[in-house]
Amino acid sequence: MKSMDLRCFTRDEIKEIMVLMEQPKYRGDQVFEWLFKGAESIDDMKTISKDLKDTLKKEGYYLSCLRTVKRIESAIDGTVKFLFELEDKERIESVVLPDKERTTLCISSQVGCACACAFCATGSIGFKRDLTTGEIVDQFIWAQKETGIKIDNVVFMGMGEPMLNWENVKKAIFILNDEKGFHFAQLRVTVSTIGILPAIKEMADKDYRFGLAVSIITANDEVRSKLIPMNKAYPLAEIVKMARYYTTKTERTIMFEYPIFAGINDSIKDADAFYKMMRGIDYKVNLIPYNSVVGREYTKPEIDKVKAFQKHLMEKGVKIFIRKEKGSDIAGACGQLAGAIEYKE
Ligand code: SF4
């Protein structure tokens, strides 16, 4: 018999399951609510009858749970990095980033990643598998439970390219958004991608309300292809065209992430080329000084150079921010997540 994780289903799907079990539909609401009220097994669902619990178990339903293998807290800024183990013993990382006004959860979407970006620790693991919808939702549940901190924002910037596990990522966002679940606003979720164009087009066409961030890095295709091999499939000109389509269609701003590397993309000439490329698009820029990854040839730029880059674009009217470094003592930044390697026992 096939086991089915109830956390992988939307509320409507759980209601349909109830109908098939000859139960009233409202039981579906009750079962769904328990998924977010701390239940770790079907037996924990206190308001559900024993008969229904038994039927659910007999039909192969269960609740996925994460095992916390390691929790490391930054002594500098309170960033908490989790290494979670999945049912098949694969491991993923999630990072809780508390700030003065809000707490952000950086979530993983895959075990490893197939994209092999040259600067990224996750990329060096290779692709193992997609996370299920339940495993994505679980990261939110476990991060809140383990830290006791209410999550205000979610960013898909952990391990994996979220738009290559698009169906499960979208479904997890809709489940978190459900009013009988966490009722977590879609606007507070950002999907960060290297630019998987069919999924971006879908975001524009279906008017999803969650945010979009695209790692752009440079205006030079040759340099970008070296850093992000996927650039060969989705080159800069296509990404820019899609960004224009997205912002025009949705009337929303797009965030361009600009990981900045010493000597690669940190000059004023690079800033000018970027500015020229983005003409006519409503965008913001998140400048991310690169955090060195062991074994990678890329290095962090001088902060003066980063500030000069920012100032130059600000003077042209670009909304550009330098991302505050978080969790530097625990390798908690994006592109540094590689649980399978870092903590292998
Ligand atoms: S940067 Fe993102 S897409 Fe590229 S290898 Fe790392 S996780 Fe994958």
What residue's CA is closest to ligand 1, atom 5?
123
For residues 59-74, give the mean pLDDT. Answer: 95
Q: Give pLDDT tens digits for 148-206.
A: 999 999 999 999 999 999 999 999 999 999 999 999 999 999 999 999 999 999 999 99
What residue's CA is closest to ligand 1, atom 4?
117
- Which atom of ligand 1 is closest in space to residue 160's alpha carbon? 7
> Which DSSP helix (H) or strand (E) runs through 104?
strand 103-106
For residues 26-52, give the mean pLDDT. Answer: 95
- Residue partners of 308: CB distance under 8 A and separation at least 6: 268
Q: Give pLDDT tens digits for 99-154.
A: 888 999 999 999 999 999 999 888 888 999 999 999 999 999 999 999 999 999 99
Two tokens, residue 145: 């439970």
Interhelix angle for 197-206 vs 236-250, to 10°? 10
Rounded CA separation 170/138 (Å): 14
Q: Are 46 and 53 in contact (CB under 8 A)?
A: no
Task: pLDDT band for 335, please (50, 70, 90 cuts).
Answer: very low
For residues 307-331, give the mean pLDDT. Answer: 88
- Ligand 1: centre distance to CA 65 (Å): 25
pLDDT of residue 1: 64
Q: Which residue has the higher pLDDT, 337 or 104?
A: 104
pLDDT of residue 100: 87
The amino acid sitting at 31 is V
Task: Express as a percent the part of the chain with pLDDT over 90.
Answer: 83
| 315 given a catalytic annotation | no
What distances in angstroms separate CA 32 from CA 11, 40, 87, 200, 344, one per listed residue?
A: 6, 13, 21, 30, 35
- Ligand 1: centre distance to CA 265 (Å): 18
Rounded CA separation 151/148 (Å): 9
pLDDT at 333 over 60: no
Q: What does the mean pLDDT of the chain come to?
A: 92
When mean pLDDT is compared across 83-92, 191-200, 333-342, the lowest value belongs to: 333-342
Domains of the chain, start order = 4-62 (1.10.150.530), 67-342 (3.20.20.70)
pTM, entire model: 0.93
Handedness of CA 8, 13, 18, 22 (dihedral sign): negative
| 297 given a catalytic annotation | no
pLDDT of residue 130: 98
For residues 81-98, give the mean pLDDT. Answer: 95
Question: Which H, E and C letters describe 143-210, residue by residue?
Answer: HHHHHCCCCCEEEECCCCCHHHCHHHHHHHHHHHHCCCCCCCCHHHEEEEECCCHHHHHHHHHHCCCC
194 lines ligand 1 (CB under 6 A): yes
Radius of gyration, CA atoms only, the chain:
21
The amino acid sitting at 69 is V
Task: pLDDT band for 53, please (50, 70, 90 cuts).
Answer: very high
